[in-house]
C-alpha cells in the first residue's frame, strides 16, 4: 500500500463516509429497528470503535444518514434554481430537481421518507426540520413570484407544504411499489402543482 492510499484509507472522513454507505444499505434492507451495528461494522469493513468515534449510537447514525440525503436533495435543488432567472422558473426547477433526486436515489429516499416515520420524537423533529428546509425553498420563490406579478397572491406557506405532501406521497408509493415511475411523477405532478397557483407558462 503506498502512502497516498494508506492516508486515504485512514482518513476519518473516508471512514465516516464508508460507515454511512454501509448504514444506508443495512437500514434500507432491514429497517431501523432490525438493523444491528454488527451488520454495519461488517459491511463497512470498520469496527464498532470506529462507528462510536463518529456516531455515539444507532440513532445518531440514522439521523446523520437522513441529514446527508437531505443535503444532497437541497444541493440539487439549489443548483437547478441557480440556472433560472424568473421566480416561477425557479419554482418549477426546484420541484423537478427535488422529484428527480428522490427518483434517482431510491434507497436513501426510502430511509428518509419511510424508515424515519414513527420512530419517536427525535426522528420526528428531524423530519420536521427537513420539511421546513424544503418548504422554505419553495416558499421563498413563490413569494418572489407573487411580488413579480407572475402569479396572484396565495398563501405560500400552505401551498409549499401541500406541494411537499404530494411529492412525498407519490415518492413513498414509488419506493414501495415501483410505480408510478419517477419520470411519470415529474411529467404529471409538476404541471398540476403549477396550475394550482394559476401559473401559465408563456
- % of the chain surpassing 70 pLDDT: 94
Give pLDDT, residue 84. Answer: 93
Domain ranges of the chain: 1-55, 65-195
- Give the CA count within 13 Å in the CB-facing half-sphere of 45: 4
Distance of CA 140 to the CA centre of its chain: 19
- Of 8-17, 26-35, 94-103, where does the model show the most confidence? 94-103
What's the CA gap between 116 and 113, in Å, rounded?
6
Q: Are 19 and 65 in contact (CB under 8 A)?
A: no
3.20.20.70, 2.40.50.140, 2.30.30.220, 1.10.357.10: CATH of 65-195: 1.10.357.10
CATH code of the domain occupying 1-55: 1.10.10.60
- Give the CA count within 13 Å in the CB-facing half-sphere of 185: 26
Give pLDDT, residue 10. Answer: 54
Amino acid at each position: 500500500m503506498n502512502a497516498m492510499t494508506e492516508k486515504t484509507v485512514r482518513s476519518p472522513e473516508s471512514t465516516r463516509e464508508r460507515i454511512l454507505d454501509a448504514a444506508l444499505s443495512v437500514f434500507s434492507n432491514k429497517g431501523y429497528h432490525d438493523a444491528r451495528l454488527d451488520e454495519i461494522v461488517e459491511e463497512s469493513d470498520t469496527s464498532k470503535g470506529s462507528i462510536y468515534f463518529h456516531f455515539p449510537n444507532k440513532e445518531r447514525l440514522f439521523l446523520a444518514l437522513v441529514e446527508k440525503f437531505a443535503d444532497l436533495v437541497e444541493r440539487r435543488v439549489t443548483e437547478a434554481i441557480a440556472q433560472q432567472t424568473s421566480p416561477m422558473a425557479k419554482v418549477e426547477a426546484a420541484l423537478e430537481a427535488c422529484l428527480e433526486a428522490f427518483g434517482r436515489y431510491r434507497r436513501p429516499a426510502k430511509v428518509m421518507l419511510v424508515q424515519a416515520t414513527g420512530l419517536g420524537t427525535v426522528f420526528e423533529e428531524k423530519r420536521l426540520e427537513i420539511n421546513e428546509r424544503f418548504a422554505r425553498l419553495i416558499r421563498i420563490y413563490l413569494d418572489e413570484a407573487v411580488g413579480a406579478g407572475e402569479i396572484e397572491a396565495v398563501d405560500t406557506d400552505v401551498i409549499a407544504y401541500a406541494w411537499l405532501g404530494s411529492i412525498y406521497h407519490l415518492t413513498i408509493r414509488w419506493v414501495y411499489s415501483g410505480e408510478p415511475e419517477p419520470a411519470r411523477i415529474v411529467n404529471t405532478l409538476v404541471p398540476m402543482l403549477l396550475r394550482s397557483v394559476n401559473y401559465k407558462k408563456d
